[in-house]
Amino acid sequence: MVWADGPRFVDWSDVETVAGMPIFLKDNIETADMPTTAGSLALERNAPGRDAPITARLRAAGAVILGKTNLSEWANIRSSESISGWSAVGGQTRNPYDPERTPCGSSSGSAVAVAIGLAPAAIGTETDGSITCPASVNGIVGFKPTVGLVSRTHIVPISHSQDTAGPMTTTVEDAAIVLGVIAGSDPLDPATAEADARKVDYRAALDAGSLSGARIGVMSFLLPSYSEETRAAFERSVQAMREAGAEIVEITEAPAQFRQIGGWELTVLLTELKHDLNLYLASTDPQQVPTRTLADVIAFNAAEPRETVLFGQDLFERAEATGGLTDPAYVEARAKSLQAAGPDGIDRMMADHRVVALIAPTTSRAWTNDPEDDDNMQGSASRLAAVAGYPHLTVPMGFDRGMPVGLSFIGGKWQDARILSLGYAFEQKTQARRVPGMVSQED
């Protein structure tokens, strides 16, 4: 959106419930009244006339669904050269702090819509970093819940092991409000069987004093991968938590097999992509979606120049070649990655160091949109929580060369309320967010 006299920002700070709240949905979440494309021309007419359960929950609570937001096409899983925020349907999403820099992905449009004040909230989805990275680089709050707290039914999938929807907002309080509406069991999504029993009043659980006396673990083994400016912002944030009464514990050693997790994760994602996407496509209207399988989508892309003008589809092709959910390579990769990220990763770090949460920078400043330059992504805190299926919150913590950066709070399974409360206490202490166009030279 362009304004003749510059952006105008709406103050949504008095919103207390989702009743009447305007909300955007990422364009891989179904609504009965508009198409759901995942950014692909293959799904351009995909309008099966049904609400995803999370859409239905929002409507029932009185939220106003304003529309769909652009995303990295197919949620960034089509190509290893995918450009964050670009899709053949929606074009390139721009970062409002610097349009020449990435909005990150895949929930790019959801993050930008909130960042520029079009709505107080949007729904994103994450498989690994797709909520937290765009939230961080666009200066907003993003929350990836425990996998199984929020239904995935009628959301274009990547992985039933790691996919989840979650809120993207300007404040942690708004994230808690929205999560309280979309969380809950769904009989069509077996992963959510415990959700109703685990769900709490997330807004009521927020405590501005929750950092006082809390032992917080710094994943310092991650820090060398971030930019110098982001590390400096992080150190200031850690000091602010100390001032709020937190006890900071340095965790210098990465979990065992930490470096192997990425390879196992990719095997899992590509195998589940073929299985899960084929099931999703089979549920659509064949008159609207002639591509009935992943193989059909690959053929469609190969014949449609608008799809491959910027990058190809090597990950789709690798996914098509996978052997299915009974393939021993997949079974082993899923078991090993889950064990390494969860019980031997987050759980062990928290238990061994007696901490209630783990923290690190979410990522460094947004890199440029030019794939040929050397200003690339620096650092990421998303993988362990993504693979384990555990909650991950990012909250604005400062700036890296004038670009926003976030602080990640990560906890154990079903510890969503605690993580939100700790992030809320940090947010109230620091008030680090600045809207686009209002970043000072000191930031």
The 10s digit of each residue's pLDDT in 271-322 is 999 999 999 999 999 999 999 999 999 999 999 999 999 999 999 999 999 9
pLDDT tens digits along 72-111: 999 999 999 999 999 999 999 999 999 999 999 999 999 9
What pTM was computed for the model? 0.95
The whole-angstrom separation of Cα 103 and Cα 105 is 7
Tell me which of 72, 106, 110, 210 is the catalytic residue.
Answer: 106
- Is 225 a catalytic site residue? no
pLDDT tens digits along 198-212: 999 999 999 999 999
Query: CB of 111 within 8 A of CB of 124?
Result: yes
- Is 382 a catalytic site residue? no
HSE-up of 252 (CA within 13 Å, CB side)?
A: 0
In the chain, what are the domain boundaries? 22-430
pLDDT tens digits along 165-187: 999 999 999 999 999 999 999 99
- Looking at residue 2, what is its pLDDT? 35
Rg value, the chain, Cα: 20
Partners of residue 164 on adjacent β-strands: 126
- Looking at residue 5, what is its pLDDT? 44
The whole-angstrom separation of Cα 100 and Cα 293 is 36
- Looking at residue 370, what is its pLDDT? 75
In CATH, what number does 22-430 get? 3.90.1300.10
Tell me which of 72, 130, 237, 382 is the catalytic residue.
Answer: 130
- Is 26 a catalytic site residue? yes
- Looking at residue 437, what is its pLDDT? 84
